[in-house]
Structure 1
Amino acid sequence: MMFTKSKLLPFVTAVSLAVSSPFVMAKNFKMAIGDAAGGTQWELGTKFTELLEEKTNGEVKVDLFPNGQLGNEQDTVNNAAIGLLDFSILAINNVTPFSPTVGLLTMPYVIQSADEAKLLTQGEVGQELVDNTLRDAGVRIIGWAYSGFRVLTNSKRPVKSPEDLKGLVIRVPRNEIMISSYQAWGVNPTPMAWSETFTGLQQGVVDGQDNPYITVYAMKFNEVQKYVTNIRYIFSLEPLIISESIFQQQSPEMQATILEAGQEATDHSFAYLAQTEGKIRKDLEEKGMVFTDPANDEKEWIEKVTTAVWPKFYASIGGKEKLDETLKLLGR
């Protein structure tokens, strides 16, 4: 077959562009998101997607699948580890079974503010946990969603003290640290898959659950829950992970672009929480939810879990020394 000069030029130009592009060719990634659209997971995912498309001049796109469409959050870790899934955003407690040292970030009452959450995730502690997750689970954390403290909601009555929990059936994730926290407060919680939680609350299988304001809002829990207790036992962090095998298939330029987009999306998530958390609480109040602060500045809640729960998990998070170092870093 012979090419005329007029036909050859576009062909050569197309080949040249493909070869010169650091991204080589257009690609569509898939991203699993555990929560429904509207929460901080969705905000992080959409911002990351926007940034990645912008930085690659539209050559790379990311399709988002919210509300557990691609499986429960722990399934997405497995699938990413074996290269069947590109990206996932999930609650940190669902990474812990694969990389136990990440449980440091879910130890009750370790993180006491959004600034402390940022300091830990974006400093030396966070980098060590990123490295451990890569080693243990075959996935790389490239970003973080900051969702705020997990507050307790229930459909029965106001709760101010651990004593008030008696008789309530509380849903928790399948996470040993969180289960142990409720046991320290005197109740046996019910582990339940996230995908089943709304229905469980609606049908009265469970009376309550805990999650940040923004998740309560995004999941419309106000339709099946009335009372909110502002406990602050865990600051909800939701990492954005990429399959390490998929990451290693990318060009060095593409890897750098993914990491850059992840950091910028993380910064956006932190600012987004500060801008929206107060507005969301106000909206939930207007929708009929009743807010209660724990008695005595949460002293009884704190004492019970730091005494009974912390020692049980020293070994899994890297030793008591690791927790002591973290508390010292936070000025405590």
Structure 2
Amino acid sequence: MFRKALVLVALVAMMAVSSVSFAQDPQVLRIGMGDPIDSEMGAIATRFKEIVEGRTDGKVEVQIFPSGQLGDETEMIQNVRRGNLDMAVVGIANTVPFVKKLGILTLPYLFENMYDVVRGATGPAHEMLNEFAIKEGGFRVLGWTYTDYRYLSNSKRPIKKLADVKDMKFRVPQSAVILETYRSWGANPVPISWAETFTALQQGVVDGQCYGYITFQAAKFNEVQKYITEVHYTYQLQPMMISERLYKKLSPEMQQLVVEAGREAQEYCLAFQLVDAGRAKAELIASGIQIDTLEDEAEWKKLAIDNVWPKMTDFVGGQKVLDRYLGYIGKK
């Protein structure tokens, strides 16, 4: 009888501790993101919401604000760093001004295939990048959004070989690495914020842009672009981040929950991307978009690697940092 009473007391005490601990956690988590809700960013954020709300029995609500509702991506990153915004899903290039070492992920032809991509976003490679994000950026990466290769689209002509891209104007993010990559091909890169990209394409400020099929369709770029070329110079791993200031205030239980939810949402996002990209591609073709492959991508790759990597190695942290990351993805 005494033992049963003791167990009952212990259970009550555990419930009380859990309740008090949870009461200190936020009741609402707000996630801002740059892309539309029906993009890969939307997929990872929505799955994160489902997991967190499900495992807290709805006591924590996750609110998602897509398509730049909370400002452009640079503004969202700043607010996450300051603790004014809980979470954000943003383009990797927009994090580089805050954490230059994350620019490793924008180096041209870093990933040879999807095996490299997955290795680059999990295990020790993830831990390395996340360490830089926490220490230098003030944010923690809970998951990586798989958003496909940055295929080239434009409104002028099919691009099948290097000569076709010469002097064409392409919208690119504010990324030193990506700017150098386009210049190595003889193209004219123009940094424009993501929120202003559709208007820039519509008004002819630039001829084209680069993104994967799902978000190309979700952003309705097919209304202002006619041609897409499958160029494999960079696979976009976009971070879903949480404010480190907020994270440190969470109870241990809540910290574990958001980390697990982020990892599981990342796994879901990979499956979503692999399946839904084929659907988006087929629908774009049916709508009249012409999709081409390069006849000479080996030449694109050589120019990018020979010209960009030597210039940008120090920018992304130096040879030792780069070699460490390459080792984690099996390329060293």
Normalising by structure 1, what TM-score? 0.91
TM-superposed deviation, 1:19: 6.3
- Kindly tell me: are residues 135 and 331 of structure 1, through their superposed partners in 2, closer, same or farther at Cα, counting changes over 3 Å? closer
Secondary structure of the 1:309 match is helix
Q: Which sits farther off after the overlay, 171-180 or 270-279?
A: 270-279
**Which residue number corresponds to residue 30 of structure 1?**
30
Cα-to-partner distance string for 1:257-289 (whole Å, 9 max, x where unaligned) = 111111110110111112112121111111111
Uncovered stretches (5+) of structure 2, i.e. residues with no partner: 1-11
| Aligned match of 2:208 | 208
Give 1:119's aligned residue. Answer: 119
Corresponding letter in the other structure for 1:171 = R
1:180 is displaced (CA, Å) by 0.7
| Deviation of the 1:21 alpha carbon | 5.7
What's the secondary structure of 1:29's corresponding residue?
A: strand
**Aligned-partner SS, 1:170:** strand
Matched, 1:177 2:177: yes
* TM-fit CA distance, 1:318: 2.5
Q: Paired residue for 2:305?
A: 306
Structure 1: runs of 5 or more not aligned: 1-12
Provide the rounded CA distance (Å) in 1 between the counterparts of 2:191 and 2:100: 18
Distance 1:264 1:323 in 2: 27
Q: Which residue of 1 aligns with 2:6?
A: none
Instruction: Find the aligned partners of 2:209 and 2:189 in 1 and give their Cα distance.
Output: 9
Cα distance in 1 for residues equivalent to 2:22 and 2:154:
49
- Aligned-pair CA distance for 1:295: 1.3
Asked if structure 2 preserves the Cα contact closer than 8 Å seen for 1:174 and 1:192, the reply is: yes
Q: Cα gap change, 1:19/1:111 in structure 2, threshold over 3 Å: closer, same or farther?
A: closer
Are 1:169 and 1:190, in contact at CA under 8 Å, matched by a contact in 2?
yes
User: Within 1, Cα distance between the matches of 2:87 and 2:322?
Assistant: 30
Q: CA deviation at 1:17?
A: 6.6
SS state at 1:143 partner:
strand
Residues 210-240 of structure 1, C-alpha deviation per residue, up to 9 Å, x if partnerless?
0111110110111110101100101011111
| Cα distance in structure 1, aligned partners of 2:171 and 2:89 | 21
Rounded Cα–Cα distance in structure 1 between residues aligned with 2:118 and 2:70: 29
Corresponding residue SS for 1:182: helix
Deviation at 1:320, TM superposition (A): 2.6
TM-score for the superposition, normalised by structure 2: 0.91
Query: 1:12-54: CA deviations, max 9, x gaps?
Result: x9xx879636422660111101101210000100100110001
Q: Which residue of 1 aligns with 2:330?
A: 330
**Aligned-residue offset at 1:112:** 2.3
* Distance apart, 1:144 and its partner CA: 1.1
**Which letter does structure 1 place at the counterpart of 2:170?**
I
Task: Report the alpha carbon displacement of residue 326 of structure 1 after superposing the two structures with TM.
Answer: 4.1
Q: Distance in 2 between matches of 1:52 and 1:115?
A: 28
Alignment of 1:125-140 (within 5 A): 125-140=125-140
Look up the SS of the partner of 2:313 in the other structure.
helix
Separation of aligned partners in 1, 2:276 and 2:225: 21
What residue identity is the alignment partner of 1:317? V
Question: Which runs of structure 2 are paired with 1:118-197 in the superposition (5 Å)?
Answer: 118-197=118-197
Distance 1:249 1:324, change over 3 A: closer
SS in 2 for 1:317: coil
Question: 1 CA distance for matches of 2:321 and 2:133?
Answer: 16
1:246 counterpart residue number:
246
1:291 maps onto 2:291 in alignment = yes
Task: Answer whether contact 2:40 2:269 (CA < 8 A) is retained.
Answer: yes
Query: Partner amino acid for 2:166?
Result: K
Worse-matched range after superposition: 149-158 or 17-26:
17-26
Does the CA contact (< 8 Å) of 2:150 and 2:234 recur in 1? yes
Which residue of structure 1 aligns with residue 109 of structure 2?
109
CA contact (8 A) 1:161 1:300 kept: no
Deviates more, 1:150-159 or 1:70-79: 70-79
